[in-house]
Amino acid sequence: MPPTDSTQAAVEFFFDCGCPWSYLAHGRLREAAIRTGARIVYRPVLLAEIGAGTHPSAPQDHLAAARQRYRQKDLQDWARFCGVSLQYPGGGPIDSTWAQRGVIVAQRRENPPAFVDGLFRVHFVEGRDISQFSEVVAVAKRVGLDEPTFAAELRAPGTLGELRENVSRLVQHGGFGTPTMLVGTDLYFGNDRMPLVEIALARAGGMRLVMPGEHGP
């Protein structure tokens, strides 16, 4: 049974919409939140301001050819596991500043899940360039946000300041890349840590899960 509101757990989701691992983690995190009755607090960040060395999409000339090939295979393996399509050219990170600023605006409209899903879909499924202002505004329109109001708020300098505050919060808690999930003071990095995140959310919400090793013969 999901926890009541008085015991509702929360997870802070630090992500970049240009990061394929953030894309894969988002759907899994939403499913985990439904199962545990938890609330997701969206924390969009700019990976370029955390450090290129921590970015799973770091420029490809910094990686050996074998590692490049394995990384592409790994992404597709995880996409199949998650039941989603994933187009990723592997040419290095994009400038996701407009997209991330757009998430800040969508949060003010209490519509971050649909907007974030929309950004991930147009970029990783439809192959569109979310570094472009017009593409970000088009996603906002697609999910039902008022286009002129959204565009005006997107240009406001305050959105960039909020992104940098999220980066500072991530770094202060020991974070170094995306996706990162923070449950209380417990930090989890990477799409593959989602089972641990779900266990932490269940525990924080007063739920009891059967753990590995606790199953009967």
Q: What angle do CA 92, 94, 95 make, to 5 degrees?
A: 140
| pLDDT (0 to 100) of residue 1 | 40
| pLDDT (0 to 100) of residue 207 | 82
Tell me the residue type at 180: T
The contacts of residue 52 (CB under 8 Å, 6+ apart) are 58, 59, 93
What domains, with CATH codes, occur in the chain?
7-204 (3.40.30.10)
Cross-strand pairs, 11: 40
Pairing between strand 186-189 and 10-15?
A: unpaired
Q: Is the peptide bond before 217 cis (omega within 30 degrees of 0)?
A: no
Q: How far apart are CA 19 and CA 33, in angstroms?
A: 21
pLDDT of the chain, 217 residues: tens digit per residue: 444 455 689 999 999 999 999 999 999 999 999 999 999 999 999 988 886 334 444 444 544 666 677 677 888 888 888 888 888 755 567 899 999 999 999 999 887 899 999 999 999 999 999 999 999 999 999 999 999 999 999 999 899 999 999 999 999 998 888 999 999 999 999 999 999 999 999 988 888 776 666 655 5
| pLDDT (0 to 100) of residue 212 | 66
Handedness of CA 181, 83, 47, 131 (dihedral sign): negative
Residue 156 DSSP label: S
Tell me the residue type at 78: W
Model pTM score: 0.84
Q: What is the dihedral of CA 46, 159, 37, 213, to 10 degrees?
A: 10
| pLDDT (0 to 100) of residue 69 | 74
Residue 64 DSSP label: -
Q: How far apart are CA 47 and CA 164, in angstroms?
A: 10
List strands edge to edge, sheet with 10-15: 39-44, 10-15, 180-183, 186-189
